[in-house]
């Protein structure tokens, strides 16, 4: 008697169908598991045997062989407990239901309770794509699974409950399909923080608007308490709404990282991740024996906030440079390499010097003369080169902070302008790999950032006067393009250039020591 039960496997973000085959022969007890199982899969033997008995069923006796097909792909984790359990009941003729269109995913405890596993969302998507009509998942994973349409999702609490359902017998706790997830429900999509909470700081807000509109990375420098973190946290609220496809991509990453909230099926808001500077390189970029996504991937389609940028180890920052540019990160292991997406907007914050008060209007800086320079030197280099906007955030003045009334602009109003500017860019870059102004190639820069004679002259003057580096030139052009788009202007005008230069003030004031 050979049993065949469908399940799913996972490599990185991708899932593939796995067939759990079981056979029992002879009379001498033995249990073999083949098909490249890892240690956790191998331990399923013990868990399943105990769970079968403790759920009130008989465990088959004889030489049991379980094969996980395809046999040449590595299988990891504990998701095969549930299909192996079902296969044991089939080979011992305790279950006779047709399961050709059913898939099983889940870990089980010794007593037969079903436990949550990571990566259910990508597995259920693949189950549907490979023709399954129903999928049985741990109850705790049901929310994420129910995001997938055109497949019935059953949230299983115990194996007894599942077997009763498959046999069609009555119980007091019948297994019912999960409610499909409603992505369009507006309240699930609203971002909880709003720019209306930030008093004053119009300069910084405008810079964040420009950053959001053109997809530019941004660095904010300012004394403690000036509101850098507060501003950064609100950036996702002015980015365009997540599309269903983007939400699915981001949720998949959380699903395999085991970072998904069981109450929330789909991540419907852009993520905001702010790893501490003591984060390990693997925590930041991803890693582990079975490589899991790191912070940079958990921020996919959202914001990666690096607070106190100079405190991050330089090596960590340098390994992030390429992924931030490419929107994907590859983690190499002896067992092979995996690639995770990481389309993020990078937001960084720092104090201007170790004590934090350099340039503060009232508080004196207590650092040694060269300390500020040394502090800043830590962040100069490759990563900084990827940050188009670098602004100073001064402490907000008392009057702005104490002003009454709700006159601050809401995130919704800002987002409307951002969306309009993004629509222009979508049209501009249609059919190319470029997604926004920040990602323009040299050639696109030449095509779309043509300057009038007067603009050229203005830029020339500024360069001579401030001694800007040549690499700042392209950044100013890209920023000017975004500012012109926010303005709905076809051509870059002098005002756009002037504003763009303002967003490079760290270039000249701090980083060049002027
Ligand atoms: N413009 C503002 N409007 C309203 N509240 C503000 C403003 N600026 C600062 N605050 C208040 O000050 C608190 C501290 O701000 P925040 O933590 O963002 O400062 P920071 O610049 O990140 O400081 P640090 O350099 O110490 O990290 C905020 O939580 C907020 O309550
Ligand atoms: Mg802060």
In 271-410, which residue ranges form alpha helices assigned H by DSSP? 281-285, 295-298, 314-326, 371-377, 398-402
Q: What pLDDT sits at residue 380?
A: 61
- Output the CA 354–ligand 1 centroid distance in Å: 18
Question: Cβ distance 22 to 84 under 8 Å?
Answer: yes
Distance CA 259, CA 282 (A): 16
- Phi first, then psi: give them for residue 472, nearest 5 degrees: -70, -25
For residue range 52-63, what is the model confidence (pLDDT) as tens digits? Answer: 999 999 999 999
Q: What pLDDT sits at residue 237?
A: 94
Give the residue, by CA position, lying nearest to ligand 1 atom 9: 227
Burial environment of residue 62 by CB neighbours within 10 A (0 to 12, 13 to 18, 19 or more) = middle
Q: Which atom of ligand 1 is found nearest the CA of 231? A: 18
Q: What pLDDT sits at residue 373?
A: 80
172-176, 227-231, 342-346: which has the minimum mean pLDDT?
172-176
Distance CA 414, CA 419 (A): 9
How far, in Å, are 147, 207, 347, 444, 508 from residue 436 at the CA level? 29, 16, 17, 11, 26
Non-local (6+) Cβ contacts of 402 within 8 A are: none
For residue range 178-228, what is the model confidence (pLDDT) as tens digits? Answer: 998 877 775 566 788 999 999 889 999 999 999 999 999 999 999 988 999
- Phi first, then psi: give them for residue 475, nearest 5 degrees: -65, -40
Mean pLDDT of the chain, nearest integer: 90
Cα-only R_g, the chain? 28
- Output the CA 224–ligand 2 centroid distance in Å: 7
Give the residue, by CA position, lying nearest to ligand 1 atom 16: 227
Would the pLDDT of 46 be above 90? yes
Instruction: Record the tokens describing residue 443, joined without a space.
Output: 């050639």
- Output the CA 283–ligand 1 centroid distance in Å: 27
Residue ranges around ligand 1 (CB below 6 Å): 198-201, 222, 224-230, 351, 396, 401
- Phi first, then psi: give them for residue 264, nearest 5 degrees: -110, 125
- Output the CA 222–ligand 2 centroid distance in Å: 10
Residue 101's pLDDT band (cuts 50, 70, 90): very high
Q: How many CA atoms lie within 13 A of 428 on its CB side?
A: 25
Q: Which of 195, 207, 208, 227 to mutate to test the pocket of ligand 1 (most atoms within 8 A of CB)?
A: 227
Q: What pLDDT sits at residue 287?
A: 85
**Mean predicted confidence (pLDDT) in 83-101:** 96
Ligand nearest to the CA of 393: 1
109-113, 146-150, 482-486: which has the minimum mean pLDDT?
146-150
Distance CA 133, CA 110 (A): 29
Q: Which of 226, 406, 409 to mutate to test the pocket of ligand 1 (most atoms within 8 A of CB)?
A: 226
Residue 395's pLDDT band (cuts 50, 70, 90): confident
How far, in Å, are 225, 276, 376 from residue 354 at the CA level? 14, 17, 9
Identify which of 101, 27, 112 has the alpha carbon closest to the alpha carbon of residue 64.
Answer: 27
């Amino acid at each position: 008697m050979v049993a065949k039960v469908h399940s799913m496997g996972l490599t990185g973000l991708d899932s593939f169908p796995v067939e759990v085959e079981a056979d029992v022969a002879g009379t001498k007890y033995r249990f073999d598991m083949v098909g490249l199982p890892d240690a956790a899969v191998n331990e399923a033997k013990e868990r399943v045997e105990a769970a079968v008995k403790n759920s009130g069923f008989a465990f088959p006796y004889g030489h049991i062989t379980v094969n996980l097909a395809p046999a040449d792909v590595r299988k990891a984790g504990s998701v095969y407990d549930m299909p192996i359990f079902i296969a044991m009941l089939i080979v011992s003729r305790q279950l006779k239901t047709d399961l050709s269109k059913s898939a099983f995913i889940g870990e089980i405890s010794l007593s037969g309770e079903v436990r949550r596993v990571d990566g259910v969302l990508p597995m259920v998507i693949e189950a549907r794509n490979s023709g399954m009509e129903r999928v049985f998942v741990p109850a705790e994973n049901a929310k994420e699974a129910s995001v997938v349409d055109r497949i019935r999702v059953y949230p299983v609490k115990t194996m007894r409950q599942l077997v009763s359902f498959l046999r069609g017998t009555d119980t007091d706790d019948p297994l019912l399909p999960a409610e499909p997830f409603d992505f369009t429900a507006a309240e699930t999509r609203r971002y909880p923080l709003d720019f209306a909470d930030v008093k004053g700081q119009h300069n910084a807000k405008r810079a964040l608007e420009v950053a959001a509109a053109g997809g530019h990375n941004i660095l904010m420098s300012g004394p403690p308490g000036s509101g850098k973190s507060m501003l950064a946290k609100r950036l996702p609220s002015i980015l365009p709404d997540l599309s269903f496809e983007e939400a699915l991509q981001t949720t998949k990453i959380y699903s395999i990282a085991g970072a998904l909230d069981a109450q929330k099926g789909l991540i419907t808001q852009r993520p905001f991740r702010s790893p501490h500077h003591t984060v390990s390189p693997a925590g930041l970029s991803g890693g582990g024996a079975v490589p899991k996504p790191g912070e940079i991937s958990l921020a996919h389609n959202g914001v990666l906030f690096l607070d106190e940028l100079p405190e991050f180890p330089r090596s960590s920052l340098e390994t992030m440079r390429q992924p931030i540019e490419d929107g994907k990160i590859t983690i190499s292991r002896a067992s092979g390499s995996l690639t995770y997406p990481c389309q993020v907007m990078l937001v960084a914050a720092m104090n201007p010097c170790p004590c934090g008060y350099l340039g503060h209007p009232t508080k004196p800086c207590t650092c040694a003369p060269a300390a500020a320079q040394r502090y800043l030197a830590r962040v100069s280099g490759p990563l900084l080169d990827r940050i188009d906007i670098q602004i100073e955030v001064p402490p907000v003045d008392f009057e702005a902070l104490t002003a009454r009334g709700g006159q601050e602009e809401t995130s919704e109003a800002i987002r409307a302008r951002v969306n309009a500017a993004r629509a222009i860019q979508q049209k501009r870059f249609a059919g190319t790999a470029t997604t926004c102004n920040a990602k323009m190639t040299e050639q696109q820069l030449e095509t779309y950032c043509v300057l009038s004679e007067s603009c050229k002259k203005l830029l020339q003057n500024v360069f001579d006067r401030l001694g800007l580096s040549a690499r700042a030139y392209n950044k100013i052009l890209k920023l000017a393009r975004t500012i012109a788009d926010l303005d709905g202007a076809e051509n870059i005008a002098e005002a756009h250039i002037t504003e763009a230069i303002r967003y490079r003030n760290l270039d000249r004031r701090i980083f060049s020591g002027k």
